[in-house]
Structure 1
Amino acid sequence: MTDRDRVLLAGVVFAVLFAQVLLYPGIPALVHALGGTPAAWGGDAGAILNAGKWFLTAEFLGFVLFAGVWGALSDSIGRRTPLIAVGAVAGAASYLLLVVVARSIGMPYGGVLLVRFLGGAATIGAFSLAITTLMDLDGGNGRNMGAAGIAIGLGTALGAPIGGQLYAIGPLVPLTGAALLMMVAGGLALTVTDRVPDRNRRSPVAALGRLRSQPILGLPYALGFIDRLTAGFFALVGTVYFQTELGLDAAGTGVMLGLFFVPFALLQYPFGRLSDRIGRVGPVAVGSLVYGVAVIAVFFAPTVEMTGVTMVAVGILGALMAPATMALVSDIARHDERGVAMGGFNVFGSLGFLTGIVAGATVAATYGFGAAFVSVGLAEVGIALLALPVLLGIDEPAERGEQAPRA
Structure 2
Amino acid sequence: MSDVAHRSDRRRLAVVVWAVLVSQVFLYPGVPTLVDALGAPSAGIDAGMWFLVAEFAAFVAFAGVWGAMSDATGRRVALVVVGAVGGGLTYLAVPALPGLGVGFGGVLLLRVVGGAFTIGAFSLGITMLMDLRGGHGRNMGAAGIAIGFGAAVGSVVGGRLADADPFYPLYAGGAVLLGAALLASTVSDRTEAATAGAGGAAAAPTDADRPGFREIARRMRAMPGLLVPFAFGFIDRLTAGFFALVGVYYFQDPAVFGLSAFGAGLTLALFFLPFALLQYPMGVLSDRIGRFYPVVVGSLAYGAVIAGVGLAPTYPVAALLMVLVGVCGALVAPATMALVTDLVAPSERGAAMGLFNVFGSLGFLTGFLVGGTVTEGFDYLTAFLVVGGLELAIAVLLFPAVRVITAETGPGPS
Query: Structure 1 CA distance, aligned partners of 2:405 and 2:369?
Result: 34
Deviation at 1:229, TM superposition (A): 0.3
Structure 1: gaps spanning 5 or more residues: 40-47
- TM-score (norm: length of structure 2): 0.93
Identity of aligned residues (%): 55
**Secondary structure of residue in 2 paired with 1:37:** coil
**Secondary structure of residue in 1 paired with 2:405:** coil
Residue 104 of structure 2: which of 105, 109, 116 is its match?
A: 109
Residue by residue over 1:359-401, the C-alpha shift from the partner in whole angstroms, topping out at 9 and shown as x without a partner, is 11001110111111111001000101112111111245566x2
Question: Paired residue for 1:66?
Answer: 62
**Secondary structure of residue in 2 paired with 1:393:** helix
Deviation at 1:111, TM superposition (A): 1.1
Residue 10 of structure 2: which of 6, 13, 22 is its match?
A: 6
Question: Paired residue for 1:248?
Answer: 259
**Secondary structure of residue in 1 paired with 2:100:** coil
Query: Structure 2 CA distance, aligned partners of 1:216 and 1:64?
Result: 20
Question: Paired residue for 1:364?
Answer: 375
Structure 1 position 183 matched with structure 2 position 178: yes
Deviation at 1:214, TM superposition (A): 0.6
The answer to whether the 8 Å contact 2:20/2:180 transfers is yes
**Secondary structure of residue in 2 paired with 1:394:** helix
Residue 237 of structure 2: which of 213, 216, 228 is its match?
A: 228
Query: Structure 1 CA distance, aligned partners of 2:406 and 2:102?
Result: 55
Structure 2: gaps spanning 5 or more residues: 196-204
Aligned pairs, how many? 393
Residue by residue over 1:66-89, the C-alpha shift from the partner in whole angstroms, topping out at 9 and shown as x without a partner, is 000000000000010110000000
Residue by residue over 1:121-152, the C-alpha shift from the partner in whole angstroms, topping out at 9 and shown as x without a partner, is 10000000000000000000000000000000
For residues 22-101 of structure 1, the aligned pairs below 5 Å read 22-39=26-43, 48-101=44-97
Deviation at 1:219, TM superposition (A): 0.4
Deviation at 1:109, TM superposition (A): 1.5
Residue by residue over 1:30-69, the C-alpha shift from the partner in whole angstroms, topping out at 9 and shown as x without a partner, is 1111111342xxxxxxxx2112011001000100000000
- TM-score (norm: length of structure 1): 0.94
Residue 25 of structure 2: which of 21, 24, 29 is its match?
A: 21
Query: Structure 1 CA distance, aligned partners of 2:267 and 2:323?
Result: 9
Question: Paired residue for 1:193?
Answer: 188
User: Could you tell which deviates more after superposition, 3-12 or 361-370?
Assistant: 361-370
Deviation at 1:205, TM superposition (A): 3.8
Query: Structure 1 CA distance, aligned partners of 2:250 and 2:161?
Result: 21
Deviation at 1:184, TM superposition (A): 1.0
Structure 1 position 303 matched with structure 2 position 314: yes
Question: Paired residue for 1:159?
Answer: 154
The answer to whether the 8 Å contact 2:136/2:342 transfers is yes
Q: CA RMSD in A?
A: 1.3
Query: Structure 2 CA distance, aligned partners of 1:333 and 1:36?
Result: 44
For residues 314-325 of structure 1, the aligned pairs below 5 Å read 314-325=325-336
Query: Structure 2 CA distance, aligned partners of 1:343 and 1:254?
Result: 29
Residue 333 of structure 1: which of 334, 344, 363 is its match?
A: 344
Query: Structure 1 CA distance, aligned partners of 2:41 and 2:29?
Result: 17
Deviation at 1:203, TM superposition (A): 3.2
